[in-house]
Structure 1
Amino acid sequence: MPETSPQHAPPDSTQVLFQAVATWNTPQRPAAQALIQPLLILERQARLHRHALAPQDLQGTWRLVWITGTQKARRRLAPVLGAGRYLPKGLGITLTYDWTEAGTVANQVCLGPLSLTLSGPAKLVPPRPILAFDFTQVTLAVAGRPLITRPLRGGPAATASFYTQPVQKQAFFVYFWVTPQAIAARGRGGGLALWVRQDPSPENPSGS
């Protein structure tokens, strides 16, 4: 699977990121602040090359491990977020993309046996590496058993109209680093985020 980031990025830019991907939940991980500059370098390089995404690039489940927060959140919570932070190991936040038919996304937050899942439609916006999405359903579950499922923001009607709406009116991520092991993006709110693959990929059957 090709990376959307250019192959000409400085080696050190990806070296520290791959180290973080492999060790994010161990004491050997790089300092959270050490990821900022490599990500910004890759983002600048990606803007020059504008590689479009393919559905298979994002297919599967990705665990959020590092964030900077949105620009608004950084202004309010600068002492807490700093220049970036790893998420606690006990807090599982995942994104699952599925392109079996129309594109869908599920954002799940797990804390112990409880899980809250926001789901809805997703679409790619070529030629830029943009993925737009909307959450039109919420599900609360305990130990994997759904307790409550409710529509959000128009539910099925919003889902049906999503694919023809302009991206300017939608939430989106701009992915500037995409590999079989990890992905990184900037959200519409200005925050940076890094996810690691949680499920096996064709190039990495063990999922490690």
Structure 2
Amino acid sequence: MEAESSDLNSIKSILYRAADTKQTDGATVISNLLSAEKLVKSETKKRAADDFDVTSELRKNLAGTWRLIFTTGTLKTQQALNTKINYFPLTARQSFTESGSITNSIYLGSKFNAFKFSGKYDLVYLSNGVIRVEFDFEKLRLLDLFDITLGSGALEVGEKTGLGSGTGIKKDDGKKKAFFNWCIADEKIATARGGGGGIALWKRE
């Protein structure tokens, strides 16, 4: 296991390597994800205090398609399996647009789209330095053949890719939305923590 770094650039270099090779020790990936979460949270809080528009910046940085590389799974999943999930064994891609659309796709192999969830997302800055990505999945495209309109059960969709959103959050209209507390989104990787407690690493495609 590599020594944990307190420098964000050094942390990113380790996570870049993990995303590219899937060879970095799982414990090293987790410790660096946690370190990045702490450092970015502190920096975001400082920038927001200076009236920098941190949500608009993240919206731009999120735009594109991301492949899920590594996840600890939700706390519920960890307890059920008595283990932590590491490198994600299936092909799962998440896409964002600057206009507020989100998709989450699960593939059979690397190309056949078995499940594609789509909906809308929004960004909310929290006073503790966290930028929360709140989202609702509204539609499921199954086997790339037909569409299903989703109801409240869409909150559980995140758990299918190991990150999870199990707790959801209550909105003013009484509805619940799933969420990620986002950390990094740059030209190579993204990292975030889900409402269910899982922390994950994606690679930009």
Normalised by the shorter chain, which TM-score bucket? 0.7 to 0.9
Give the counterpart of 2:147 among 125, 136, 149.
149
Determine if the alignment matches structure 1 residue 116 to structure 2 residue 115.
yes
Q: CA deviation at 1:12?
A: 3.7
Matched residue type, 2:134: A
Specify the alignment match of 2:167 in structure 1. Answer: none
Consecutive unaligned residues of structure 2, counting only runs of 5 or more, are: 1-5, 48-53, 153-170
**2:39 aligned residue:** 45
- What is the match of residue 65 of structure 1? 69
> Measured at CA, do residues 139 and 10 of structure 1 come closer, stay the same or move farther in structure 2, by a change above 3 Å?
closer
In the alignment, what sits opposite 1:105? 102
Indicate if the aligned counterparts of 2:64 and 2:97 stay in contact, CA closer than 8 A.
yes
Residue 36 (structure 1) aligned with residue 33 (structure 2): no
Where 2:145 maps in the other structure, the secondary structure is strand
- Residues 12 and 38 in structure 1, CA contact (< 8 A), matched pair in contact too: no
1:195 equivalent in structure 2: 202
Q: Aligned equivalents of 1:149 and 1:49: distance in 2?
A: 42
CA pair 46-120 structure 1, distance change in 2 beyond 3 A: same
From the superposition, tell whether residues 33 and 197 of structure 1 become closer, same or farther in structure 2 (CA, over 3 Å). same
Using the TM superposition, give the Cα deviation of residue 178 of structure 1 relative to its aligned residue in structure 2, in angstroms.
1.9
| Deviations, residues 11-44 of structure 1 (Å, cap 9, x unaligned) | 54222111112212xxxx2112210111111111
**Alignment counterpart, residue 183 of structure 1, candidates 184, 190, 197:** 190
Q: In the alignment, is the contact (CA less than 8 A) between 1:63 and 1:95 conserved in 2?
A: yes
C-alpha distance in 2 between matches for 1:111 and 1:58: 25
CA distance in structure 1 between the aligned counterparts of 2:8 and 2:93, rounded to whole angstroms: 29
Instruction: Find 2:60's aligned residue among 46, 56, 60.
Output: 56
One-letter code of the match for 1:108?
Answer: S
TM-score by length of 2: 0.73
1:173 corresponds in structure 2 to 180
Question: 2:134 aligned with 1:136, yes or no?
Answer: no
Task: State the Cα distance separating 1:190 from its structure 2 match.
Answer: 0.6
Letter in 1 for 2:39: Q
Matched residue SS, 1:174: strand
User: Given the two structures, how large is their TM-score scaled by the length of structure 1?
Assistant: 0.72
Q: 1:10 to 1:98 in 2, by over 3 A?
A: closer
Compute the RMSD of aligned alpha carbons: 2.5
CA distance in 2, matches of 1:114, 1:23: 24
* Equivalent residue for 2:78, pick from 74, 77, 89: 74
Does the CA contact (< 8 Å) of 2:73 and 2:199 recur in 1? Answer: yes
